[in-house]
A = this chain, B = another copy of it.
Protein backbone atom coordinates (compact mmCIF):
# COMPACT_ATOMS: atom_id res chain seq x y z
CA UNK A 1 0.00 0.00 0.00
CA UNK A 2 3.02 2.27 0.47
CA UNK A 3 3.62 3.15 -3.21
CA UNK A 4 -0.09 3.71 -3.67
CA UNK A 5 -0.15 6.11 -0.72
CA UNK A 6 2.78 8.01 -2.10
CA UNK A 7 1.18 8.19 -5.52
CA UNK A 8 -2.08 9.40 -4.04
CA UNK A 9 -0.47 12.26 -2.09
CA UNK A 10 -0.33 15.75 -3.57
CA UNK A 11 1.98 15.22 -6.57
CA UNK A 12 3.07 18.79 -6.87
CA UNK A 13 6.81 19.02 -6.33
CA UNK A 14 8.13 21.87 -8.43
CA UNK A 15 11.04 19.99 -10.12
CA UNK A 16 8.72 17.11 -10.99
CA UNK A 17 6.33 19.59 -12.57
CA UNK A 18 9.15 21.11 -14.62
CA UNK A 19 10.17 17.68 -15.93
CA UNK A 20 6.52 17.00 -16.77
CA UNK A 21 6.29 20.33 -18.62
CA UNK A 22 9.46 19.48 -20.56
CA UNK A 23 7.98 16.12 -21.58
CA UNK A 24 4.81 17.95 -22.58
CA UNK A 25 6.73 20.46 -24.70
CA UNK A 26 8.81 17.69 -26.29
CA UNK A 27 5.62 15.83 -27.14
CA UNK A 28 4.17 18.98 -28.71
CA UNK A 29 7.40 19.52 -30.66
CA UNK A 30 7.17 15.96 -31.95
CA UNK A 31 3.59 16.57 -33.09
CA UNK A 32 4.52 19.88 -34.69
CA UNK A 33 7.32 18.27 -36.69
CA UNK A 34 5.32 15.26 -37.85
CA UNK A 35 2.24 17.25 -38.87
CA UNK A 36 4.37 19.80 -40.67
CA UNK A 37 6.14 17.02 -42.56
CA UNK A 38 2.97 15.10 -43.41
CA UNK A 39 0.72 18.02 -44.34
CA UNK A 40 3.04 20.80 -45.48
CA UNK A 41 3.78 19.49 -48.98
CA UNK A 42 0.16 18.49 -49.65
CA UNK A 43 -1.11 21.91 -48.64
CA UNK A 44 1.42 23.48 -51.00
CA UNK A 45 0.30 21.25 -53.91
CA UNK A 46 -3.41 21.81 -53.38
CA UNK A 47 -2.82 25.54 -53.12
CA UNK A 48 -1.14 25.40 -56.51
CA UNK A 49 -3.99 23.38 -58.00
CA UNK A 50 -6.45 25.95 -56.69
CA UNK A 51 -4.46 28.71 -58.38
CA UNK A 52 -4.71 26.72 -61.64
CA UNK A 53 -8.49 26.45 -61.25
CA UNK A 54 -8.65 30.16 -60.68
CA UNK A 55 -6.85 30.88 -63.95
CA UNK A 56 -9.22 28.56 -65.81
CA UNK A 57 -12.12 30.50 -64.31
CA UNK A 58 -10.61 33.79 -65.41
CA UNK A 59 -10.38 32.54 -68.98
CA UNK A 60 -14.05 31.53 -68.94
CA UNK A 61 -15.37 34.76 -67.48
CA UNK A 62 -13.57 37.50 -69.31
CA UNK A 63 -15.16 40.33 -67.36
CA UNK A 64 -13.37 39.24 -64.21
CA UNK A 65 -9.78 40.34 -63.73
CA UNK A 66 -7.34 38.84 -61.21
CA UNK A 67 -7.70 41.39 -58.39
CA UNK A 68 -11.50 41.47 -58.73
CA UNK A 69 -11.68 37.69 -58.44
CA UNK A 70 -9.29 37.74 -55.46
CA UNK A 71 -11.38 40.30 -53.61
CA UNK A 72 -14.54 38.38 -54.48
CA UNK A 73 -13.07 35.13 -53.12
CA UNK A 74 -12.00 36.95 -49.97
CA UNK A 75 -15.50 38.39 -49.57
CA UNK A 76 -17.13 35.00 -50.02
CA UNK A 77 -14.78 33.35 -47.49
CA UNK A 78 -15.45 36.19 -45.05
CA UNK A 79 -19.20 35.80 -45.49
CA UNK A 80 -18.89 32.03 -45.05
CA UNK A 81 -16.82 32.41 -41.87
CA UNK A 82 -19.18 34.96 -40.33
CA UNK A 83 -22.12 32.67 -41.00
CA UNK A 84 -23.98 35.05 -43.28
CA UNK A 85 -23.48 32.94 -46.38
CA UNK A 86 -26.45 30.61 -46.44
CA UNK A 87 -26.63 28.95 -49.83
CA UNK A 88 -29.83 27.51 -51.20
CA UNK A 89 -28.67 23.92 -50.87
CA UNK A 90 -27.46 23.96 -47.27
CA UNK A 91 -28.85 21.30 -44.97
CA UNK A 92 -30.88 21.99 -41.85
CA UNK A 93 -27.73 21.31 -39.80
CA UNK A 94 -26.06 24.41 -41.22
CA UNK A 95 -28.91 26.77 -40.34
CA UNK A 96 -30.32 27.97 -37.05
CA UNK A 97 -33.38 25.78 -37.34
CA UNK A 98 -34.66 23.17 -34.95
CA UNK A 99 -32.19 20.44 -35.91
CA UNK A 100 -29.27 22.84 -36.23
CA UNK A 101 -29.95 24.51 -32.87
CA UNK A 102 -30.28 21.12 -31.19
CA UNK A 103 -26.97 19.89 -32.59
CA UNK A 104 -25.36 23.20 -31.63
CA UNK A 105 -26.58 22.68 -28.04
CA UNK A 106 -25.26 19.11 -28.03
CA UNK A 107 -21.92 20.17 -29.49
CA UNK A 108 -21.59 22.93 -26.88
CA UNK A 109 -22.26 20.98 -23.68
CA UNK A 110 -20.28 17.94 -24.83
CA UNK A 111 -17.44 20.46 -25.60
CA UNK A 112 -17.12 18.95 -29.10
CA UNK A 113 -17.78 22.38 -30.64
CA UNK A 114 -17.80 21.46 -34.34
CA UNK A 115 -18.17 25.11 -35.21
CA UNK A 116 -20.43 24.63 -38.26
CA UNK A 117 -22.75 26.97 -36.36
CA UNK A 118 -21.69 29.56 -33.81
CA UNK A 119 -23.67 32.35 -32.16
CA UNK A 120 -23.32 35.85 -33.64
CA UNK A 121 -25.57 37.98 -31.48
CA UNK A 122 -24.43 39.29 -28.10
CA UNK A 123 -27.45 37.74 -26.35
CA UNK A 124 -26.82 34.33 -27.88
CA UNK A 125 -23.14 34.48 -26.91
CA UNK A 126 -23.91 35.37 -23.30
CA UNK A 127 -26.52 32.64 -23.15
CA UNK A 128 -24.04 30.24 -24.73
CA UNK A 129 -21.54 30.92 -21.91
CA UNK A 130 -24.12 30.31 -19.16
CA UNK A 131 -25.51 27.33 -21.04
CA UNK A 132 -22.02 25.79 -21.20
CA UNK A 133 -21.18 26.65 -17.58
CA UNK A 134 -24.09 24.51 -16.35
CA UNK A 135 -24.29 22.16 -19.32
CA UNK A 136 -20.69 20.91 -19.33
CA UNK A 137 -20.83 19.66 -15.72
CA UNK A 138 -24.32 18.24 -16.36
CA UNK A 139 -22.96 16.39 -19.36
CA UNK A 140 -20.08 15.07 -17.23
CA UNK A 141 -22.58 13.81 -14.64
CA UNK A 142 -24.51 11.99 -17.37
CA UNK A 143 -21.32 10.56 -18.89
CA UNK A 144 -20.10 9.39 -15.45
CA UNK A 145 -23.42 7.73 -14.80
CA UNK A 146 -23.47 6.03 -18.21
CA UNK A 147 -19.87 4.92 -17.78
CA UNK A 148 -20.75 3.38 -14.40
CA UNK A 149 -23.78 1.66 -15.88
CA UNK A 150 -21.75 0.27 -18.77
CA UNK A 151 -19.04 -1.02 -16.43
CA UNK A 152 -21.63 -2.57 -14.11
CA UNK A 153 -23.38 -4.22 -17.03
CA UNK A 154 -20.11 -5.75 -18.20
CA UNK A 155 -19.34 -6.78 -14.63
CA UNK A 156 -22.62 -8.67 -14.34
CA UNK A 157 -22.05 -10.36 -17.68
CA UNK A 158 -18.62 -11.51 -16.54
CA UNK A 159 -20.10 -12.84 -13.30
CA UNK A 160 -22.80 -14.74 -15.12
CA UNK A 161 -20.35 -16.15 -17.65
CA UNK A 162 -17.77 -17.14 -15.07
CA UNK A 163 -20.14 -18.53 -12.46
CA UNK A 164 -17.66 -21.30 -11.73
CA UNK A 165 -14.83 -18.73 -11.64
CA UNK A 166 -14.71 -18.09 -7.85
CA UNK A 167 -12.29 -15.14 -8.27
CA UNK A 168 -14.09 -11.74 -8.28
CA UNK A 169 -10.83 -10.06 -9.26
CA UNK A 170 -10.45 -12.04 -12.45
CA UNK A 171 -14.11 -11.44 -13.25
CA UNK A 172 -13.53 -7.68 -12.89
CA UNK A 173 -10.50 -7.77 -15.17
CA UNK A 174 -12.52 -9.80 -17.66
CA UNK A 175 -15.32 -7.21 -17.47
CA UNK A 176 -12.80 -4.43 -18.09
CA UNK A 177 -11.31 -6.14 -21.13
CA UNK A 178 -14.79 -6.98 -22.38
CA UNK A 179 -15.92 -3.37 -22.01
CA UNK A 180 -12.83 -2.24 -23.89
CA UNK A 181 -13.19 -4.68 -26.77
CA UNK A 182 -16.95 -4.45 -27.20
CA UNK A 183 -16.72 -0.66 -26.93
CA UNK A 184 -13.99 -0.58 -29.56
CA UNK A 185 -16.21 -2.60 -31.86
CA UNK A 186 -19.47 -0.81 -31.06
CA UNK A 187 -18.23 2.78 -30.88
CA UNK A 188 -15.18 3.03 -33.14
CA UNK A 189 -15.06 0.13 -35.61
CA UNK A 190 -18.69 -0.45 -36.61
CA UNK A 191 -20.10 3.15 -36.81
CA UNK A 192 -17.79 4.11 -39.72
CA UNK A 193 -19.57 1.46 -41.79
CA UNK A 194 -22.88 3.27 -41.17
CA UNK A 195 -21.30 6.67 -41.83
CA UNK A 196 -19.71 5.54 -45.08
CA UNK A 197 -23.09 4.22 -46.23
CA UNK A 198 -24.99 7.38 -45.23
CA UNK A 199 -22.50 10.16 -45.96
CA UNK A 200 -20.52 8.73 -48.85
CA UNK A 201 -17.22 8.78 -46.94
CA UNK A 202 -14.68 6.00 -47.06
CA UNK A 203 -14.05 3.83 -43.99
CA UNK A 204 -11.01 5.77 -42.80
CA UNK A 205 -12.85 9.10 -43.04
CA UNK A 206 -15.65 7.62 -40.94
CA UNK A 207 -13.17 6.27 -38.38
CA UNK A 208 -11.37 9.62 -38.23
CA UNK A 209 -14.70 11.39 -37.72
CA UNK A 210 -15.70 8.91 -35.00
CA UNK A 211 -12.47 9.36 -33.06
CA UNK A 212 -12.34 13.16 -33.43
CA UNK A 213 -15.96 13.36 -32.24
CA UNK A 214 -15.76 10.97 -29.27
CA UNK A 215 -12.50 12.47 -28.03
CA UNK A 216 -14.40 15.83 -28.04
CA UNK A 217 -11.77 17.46 -30.26
CA UNK A 218 -14.35 18.17 -32.99
CA UNK A 219 -12.41 19.92 -35.74
CA UNK A 220 -15.58 20.23 -37.76
CA UNK A 221 -13.95 19.15 -41.03
CA UNK A 222 -16.33 16.18 -41.13
CA UNK A 223 -19.79 16.22 -39.67
CA UNK A 224 -22.79 13.99 -40.12
CA UNK A 225 -25.97 15.13 -41.77
CA UNK A 226 -24.29 17.84 -43.87
CA UNK A 227 -24.58 16.39 -47.36
CA UNK A 228 -27.39 18.27 -49.17
CA UNK A 229 -27.61 15.58 -51.86
CA UNK A 230 -28.46 12.94 -49.27
CA UNK A 231 -31.76 12.25 -47.57
CA UNK A 232 -31.27 10.95 -44.08
CA UNK A 233 -33.77 8.61 -42.41
CA UNK A 234 -35.28 9.81 -39.14
CA UNK A 235 -33.65 7.11 -36.96
CA UNK A 236 -30.18 8.08 -38.22
CA UNK A 237 -29.76 11.29 -36.19
CA UNK A 238 -31.20 9.70 -33.06
CA UNK A 239 -28.82 6.77 -33.46
CA UNK A 240 -25.91 9.19 -33.85
CA UNK A 241 -26.95 11.12 -30.72
CA UNK A 242 -27.04 7.89 -28.72
CA UNK A 243 -23.71 6.87 -30.22
CA UNK A 244 -22.14 10.20 -29.18
CA UNK A 245 -23.48 9.87 -25.63
CA UNK A 246 -22.47 6.26 -24.99
CA UNK A 247 -19.30 6.38 -27.07
CA UNK A 248 -18.08 9.46 -25.22
CA UNK A 249 -18.73 7.74 -21.88
CA UNK A 250 -16.77 4.73 -23.11
CA UNK A 251 -13.83 6.75 -24.51
CA UNK A 252 -13.74 8.80 -21.29
CA UNK A 253 -13.29 5.52 -19.39
CA UNK A 254 -10.44 4.52 -21.72
CA UNK A 255 -8.74 7.93 -21.40
CA UNK A 256 -9.11 7.71 -17.61
CA UNK A 257 -7.42 4.31 -17.78
CA UNK A 258 -4.49 5.71 -19.82
CA UNK A 259 -4.37 8.66 -17.41
CA UNK A 260 -4.13 6.39 -14.35
CA UNK A 261 -1.43 4.34 -16.12
CA UNK A 262 0.53 7.55 -16.72
CA UNK A 263 0.15 8.95 -13.20
CA UNK A 264 0.84 5.71 -11.33
CA UNK A 265 2.54 3.20 -13.63
CA UNK A 266 2.89 0.82 -10.64
CA UNK A 267 -0.88 0.45 -10.44
CA UNK A 268 -0.95 -0.76 -14.04
CA UNK A 269 -3.76 -3.23 -13.39
CA UNK A 270 -5.24 -2.31 -10.05
CA UNK A 271 -7.44 -5.39 -10.05
CA UNK A 272 -4.36 -7.63 -9.92
CA UNK A 273 -3.06 -5.71 -6.93
CA UNK A 274 -6.26 -5.99 -4.96
CA UNK A 275 -6.45 -9.65 -5.84
CA UNK A 276 -2.96 -10.40 -4.53
CA UNK A 277 -3.74 -8.58 -1.28
CA UNK A 278 -6.67 -10.91 -0.67
CA UNK A 279 -4.51 -14.02 -1.10
Interface residues of A (CB under 8 A from B): 10-12, 14, 16-17, 20-21, 23-24, 27-29, 31-36, 38-40, 42-43, 46-47, 49-50, 53, 57, 61-64, 68, 70, 72-77, 79-89, 95-98, 101-102, 104-109, 111-115, 117-129, 131-142, 144-146, 148-149, 152, 204, 207-208, 211-212, 215-221, 255, 258-259, 262-263
Contact = CB atoms under 8 A, between A and B. Distances in A.
Contacts of A133: 215, 258
A221 B75 CA distance: 16
The 3 residue pairs across chains A and B that have the minimum distance between CB atoms: A31-B105, A46-B84, A113-B217
A158 B54 CA distance: 64
B106 A28 contact: yes
Nearest to A84: B46
A148 B83 contact: no
Contacts of A97: 36, 40
B105 A10 contact: no
A95 B42 CA distance: 11
Contact of A129 (B124, B137, B208): B208
B50 A84 contact: yes
Contact of A95 (B12, B43, B118): B43
A14 B74 CA distance: 54
Contacts of A42: 96, 120-121
Contacts of A43: 83-84, 86, 95-96, 120
Contacts of A148: 10-12
A115 B220 contact: yes
B79 A76 contact: no
B32 A50 contact: no
A64 B215 CA distance: 45
A258 B136 CA distance: 9
Contacts of A114: 115, 219
B113 A219 contact: yes
A89 B78 CA distance: 13
B215 A136 contact: yes
Contacts of A31: 101-102, 104-105, 108-109, 131, 135
B38 A123 contact: yes
A144 B69 CA distance: 50
A148 B10 CA distance: 7
26 contacts: A16-B145, A17-B145, A17-B149, A27-B134, A28-B105, A28-B106, A31-B135, A32-B98, A36-B98, A39-B96, A39-B124, A40-B96, A46-B82, A47-B84, A50-B84, A61-B61, A61-B63, A63-B64, A76-B77, A77-B87, A80-B80, A112-B113, A113-B216, A114-B219, A115-B115, A220-B220
